[in-house]
């Protein structure tokens, strides 16, 4: 046995890779020429291969989950982190055009003997490792608000089948455009379109996607519940007090802090609350007026109501809901009166300084100077977040 | 064809057929192993493994690098994405050989020299590496896998990456100073 853990299904990686490489090579995607011609709209191989692969796999996944053959909730859905992904995609796209290769096809090109492919492989590895090396320094450009199982269906609040249907239509439209641009002088345009649409694979794809659109959304409901359970399991349901402090201070758009209470009428207005938070009773949580894009942070006196509200809101399909870890107590300990670090390591010192900055901003007290409860109820210099959120919640 | 000539390379397969087979492979990978296809992850693992081989402490202390090789350089060799990438190279090599497309060459247009092409590839390749890392995937891991799983981030990536790629290719063709960087001429 090796002295480190080995993934049990790892033996599959090599044969899957071999098949992947062979298919890319057979389709001509190991040649920068093919990709370059796609980018000048002369040869639509890239679009055709990618869209047919996506639609085939998407329909197979949707239907095998729908028929109960595959537990889709155990499949890791690639993370969504909009800002870094948009920046990354723009850099990637420009590099794609310059090199006329992408990471996978660069390997295929190199394996076909092409020297430019080999150079591309080296350059991609260097670019990757440099980014990884400077990852902490990149801050929000690298890591802004990663979300684990965000799908178009959960983010847009539509059934998964509807998304499948729309993507299939988009693919067929792209294929028609591709055929048209590759054969611009064809006289009987309408007939060739009809011929293409009525070809067997397209008909199969169309039928499967229309049926998908008609499916009741049981799978995505089940998937959501399993996703929620998974998030609880891997602690993705929590946000740290420091993080929340940063969000409020930076006025991150869409952040709303909610204190979940038994009944709003019983709330003592003199009790300390997190600046900008609004009290909402647990029974009103399912009807809370929020936007899909909002980031909700929940806390409650005992923590139980916040956790219950979290499940309710996630089950409603809101993608970005967090419970403040250790509730108001953590806010008071970590932000309003941060304790000096017990060790002198650079990281805990930096954390302490960061907490002190937040403390000053939120107007907390220095621990030995007395009572936390005397802290003001709103940030001192900017009352904006408080007012804005109170109005909207 | 005369006997002394090597036989012509095989033609490429129908792209739709290739796409359907690729889609079935992607589905099989997700169904059997719980993960789809990817490429850029393997590059990061390989790079991290090299760094870990030179300086294990650096990787172990680095919050992000240590995620890519949590058990050191040797263990990284059994990483899924690196093994898959190794498979890609083997599969492509065999396929190119069987199709008689195995050639030591630098693909470039008539207007540009091999050197220009290589400079272009070094700049473009580095950008691909940076972009894929920031986006958490590339045309395979995000485009194909995330696309089929209807991940929001994957579709944002695809839209932005392809829009930028088409725009960049367009600019490269029309910028007078970079005519040599023009994409390959259309062969009909």
Q: What is the pLDDT of residues A26-56, one digit of tens each?
A: 999 999 999 998 998 889 999 999 999 999 9
C-beta atoms of B144 and A53 within 8 A: yes
User: Measured between alpha carbons, how far is A340 from A39 in angstroms, rounded to an integer?
Assistant: 57
Closest CA to A149 of A48, A60, A74: A74
Q: Which pLDDT score is estimated for A128?
A: 96
pLDDT digits (tens, 9 = 90+) for A298-317: 998 888 899 999 988 888 77
Q: ipTM of this model?
A: 0.92
Q: Compare all CA atoms of chain A with the CA of B71 and give the residue at the minimum distance.
A: A4
Contact A14 B86 (CB under 8 A): yes
List chain A residues with CB under 8 Å of B160. 85-86, 89-90, 93
Instruction: Identify any residues that bridge with A257 across adjacent strands, giving them in sequence order.
Output: A297
Distance of CA B79 to CAs A14, A91, A267, B25, B142, Å?
Answer: 11, 26, 54, 20, 19
Q: Which tens digit of pLDDT belongs to each residue from B2-47?
A: 445 667 888 899 999 999 999 999 999 999 988 899 999 999 999 9
| β-sheet bridge partners, residue A256 | A296
CB contact under 8 A, B23 and A74: no
What is the share, in percent, of chain A residues with pLDDT greater than 90?
34
Phi, psi of A278 (to 5 degrees): -125, 140
For residue B162, the model assigns a pLDDT of 97
pTM: 0.70
Asked if A151 lies within 8 A of B86 by C-beta distance, the reply is: no
Residue A221 has a pLDDT of 64
Closest-approach residue (CA) in chain B for A88:
B131
Question: Using the 8-state DSSP alphabet, how is residue A285 labeled?
Answer: G
Res A188: pLDDT: 61
The pLDDT score that the predictor gives to residue B188 is 41
Could you give the CA distance from residue A324 to residue A330 in angstroms, rounded to a whole number? 8
Residue A296 has pLDDT above 70, yes or no: yes
A57-92 pLDDT per residue, tens: 999 999 998 888 887 777 888 999 999 999 999 999
Question: Which stretches in chain B have pLDDT values below 70?
Answer: 1-6, 175-188
Chain A residue whose CA is closest to B144: A54
B42 vs A129, A384, B69, B82, B140, CA distance in Å? 11, 46, 11, 4, 11
Chain A contact for B49 (CB, 8 A cutoff): no
d(CA A149, CA A211): 24
* Contact call for A30 and B118, based on CB within 8 A: no
pLDDT confidence of residue B1: 44
Mean pLDDT of chain B: 87
Listing DSSP states for A140-192 in one string gives GGT-S--BSS-BHHHHHT--HHHHHHHHHHHHHHHHHHHHHHHSTT-S-HHHH
Query: DSSP of B79-135, one letter per residue?
Result: -HHHHHHHHHHHHHHHHHHHTT----B----SSS-HHHHHHHHHHHHHHHHHHHHHH
**CB-closest option in A13, A27, A100 to B80:** A13
For residue A373, is pLDDT > 50?
no
Does the CB of B124 have a partner CB in chain A at under 8 Å?
Answer: yes
- CB burial string A328-340: b at 16+ within 10 A, e below: bebbbbbbbbbee
The Cα A379–Cα A376 span in angstroms is 7
Q: Which of A92, A144, A155, A293 is the best residue to mutate to test the B interface, defined by the most B CB atoms within 10 Å of its own CB?
A: A92
Structural tokens at position A17: 């890779």
Which of A15-24, A341-350, B51-60, B85-94 is the least confident region? A341-350
Residues in chain B: 188
**pLDDT of the residue at A369:** 36
A367 versus B154: the higher-pLDDT residue is B154
- In this structure, the number of other CB atoms found within 10 A of the CB of residue B91 comes to 26
Banded model confidence at residue A187, pLDDT cuts 50, 70, 90: low
Burial class of residue A234, CB neighbours in 10 A (0-12, 13-18, 19+): exposed
Q: Give the count of alpha carbons within 13 A of A389, CB side only.
A: 27
Q: What does the alpha-carbon distance between residue A338 and residue B79 come to, in Å, rounded to a whole number?
A: 41
- Poorest-pLDDT segment among A25-29, A214-218, A380-384, B36-40: A380-384
User: What is the overall mean pLDDT for chain A?
Assistant: 83
Q: If you search the block for the tokens 């916040």, which residue do you land on?
A: A306
The count of C-alpha atoms lying within 13 angstroms of the C-alpha of B180, restricted to the half-sphere facing its C-beta, is: 10
CB-nearest partner of B91 from A19, A34, A55: A19
Cα(A313)–Cα(A393) distance, integer angstroms: 14
Question: What's the gap in Å between the CA of A41 and the closest CA on chain B?
Answer: 9
- Which of A34, A40, A104 is closest, CB to CB, to B169? A40
CA distance A299 to chain B (A): 28
Q: Are B87 and A37 an interchain contact pair (Cβ–Cβ within 8 Å)?
A: no
Rounded Cα distance between A27 and A23, Å, is 6
Q: DSSP secondary-structure letter at B136?
A: T
Contacts of A94 in chain B (CB under 8 A): 124, 127, 131, 164-165, 168
Residue in chain B closest to A82 (alpha carbons) equals B153
Q: Is the pLDDT of residue A205 over 90?
A: no
Contact A371, A332 (CB under 8 A): no
The residue assigned the tokens 């007290």 is: A365
Q: Which residue of B has its CA nearest to A161?
A: B150
pLDDT in tens, A116-175: 999 999 999 999 999 999 999 998 888 888 888 789 988 887 888 999 999 999 999 999
Q: Distance, in angstroms, between A308 CA and closest chain B CA? A: 27
Cβ–Cβ below 8 Å for A18 and B88: yes
Contact yes or no for A298/A338 (Cβ under 8 A): no
């Amino acid at each position: 046995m090796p002295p480190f853990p080995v993934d049990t299904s790892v033996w599959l990686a090599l044969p899957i890779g071999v098949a992947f490489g062979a298919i890319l090579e057979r389709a001509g995607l190991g040649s920068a020429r093919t990709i370059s011609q796609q980018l000048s709209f002369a040869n639509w191989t890239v679009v055709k291969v990618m869209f047919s692969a996506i639609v085939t796999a998407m329909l197979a996944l949707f239907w095998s989950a729908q028929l109960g053959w595959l537990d889709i909730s155990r499949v890791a859905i690639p993370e969504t982190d909009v800002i870094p992904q948009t920046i990354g995609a723009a850099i990637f796209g420009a590099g794609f055009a310059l090199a006329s290769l992408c990471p996978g096809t660069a390997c295929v090109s190199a394996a076909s003997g092409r020297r430019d492919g080999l150079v591309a492989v080296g350059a991609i590895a260097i670019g990757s490792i440099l980014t990884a090396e400077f990852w902490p320094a990149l801050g929000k450009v690298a890591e802004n608000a990663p979300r684990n199982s965000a799908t178009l269906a959960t983010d847009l609040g539509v059934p998964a089948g509807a998304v499948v249907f729309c993507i299939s239509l988009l693919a067929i439209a792209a294929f028609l455009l591709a055929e048209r641009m590759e054969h611009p002088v064809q006289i009987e345009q309408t007939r060739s379109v009809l011929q293409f649409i009525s070809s067997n694979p397209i008909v199969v794809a169309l039928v499967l996607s229309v049926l998908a659109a008609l499916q009741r959304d049981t799978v995505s409901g089940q998937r959501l519940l399993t996703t929620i359970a998974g998030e609880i399991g891997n602690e993705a349901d929590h946000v740290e007090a420091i993080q929340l402090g940063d969000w409020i201070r930076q006025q991150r758009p869409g952040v709303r802090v909610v204190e979940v209470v038994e009944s709003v009428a019983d709330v003592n207005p003199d009790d300390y609350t997190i600046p900008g938070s609004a009290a909402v009773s647990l029974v009103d949580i399912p009807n809370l007026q929020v936007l899909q894009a909002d980031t909700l942070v929940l806390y409650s006196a005992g923590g139980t109501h916040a956790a219950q509200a979290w499940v309710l809101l996630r089950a409603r399909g809101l993608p970005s809901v967090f419970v403040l870890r250790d509730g108001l107590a953590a806010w008071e300990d970590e932000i309003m009166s941060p304790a000096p670090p017990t060790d002198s390591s650079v990281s805990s010192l930096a954390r302490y300084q960061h907490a002190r900055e937040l403390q000053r901003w939120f107007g907390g007290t220095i621990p030995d100077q007395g009572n936390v409860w005397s802290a003001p109820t709103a940030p001192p210099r900017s009352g904006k977040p408080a007012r804005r959120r109170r109005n909207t919640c | 064809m005369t006997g002394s000539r090597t036989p012509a390379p095989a033609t490429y397969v129908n792209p739709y057929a290739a796409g359907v087979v690729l889609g079935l492979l992607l589905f099989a990978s997700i169904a059997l192993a719980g993960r789809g296809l990817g490429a850029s992850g393997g590059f990061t693992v390989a790079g991290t493994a090299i760094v870990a081989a030179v300086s294990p402490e650096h990787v172990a202390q680095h919050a992000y690098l240590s995620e890519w090789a949590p058990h050191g350089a040797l263990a990284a060799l059994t990483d899924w994405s690196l093994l898959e990438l190794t498979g890609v190279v083997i599969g492509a090599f065999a396929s190119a050989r069987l199709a008689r497309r195995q050639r030591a060459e630098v693909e470039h247009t008539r207007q540009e020299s091999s050197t220009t092409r290589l400079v272009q590839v070094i700049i473009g390749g580095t950008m691909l590496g940076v972009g894929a890392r920031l986006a958490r995937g590339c045309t395979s891991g995000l485009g194909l896998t995330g696309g089929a799983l209807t991940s929001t981030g994957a579709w944002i990536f695809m839209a932005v990456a392809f829009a930028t790629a088409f725009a960049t290719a367009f600019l490269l063709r029309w910028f007078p100073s970079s005519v040599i960087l023009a994409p390959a001429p259309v062969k009909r």
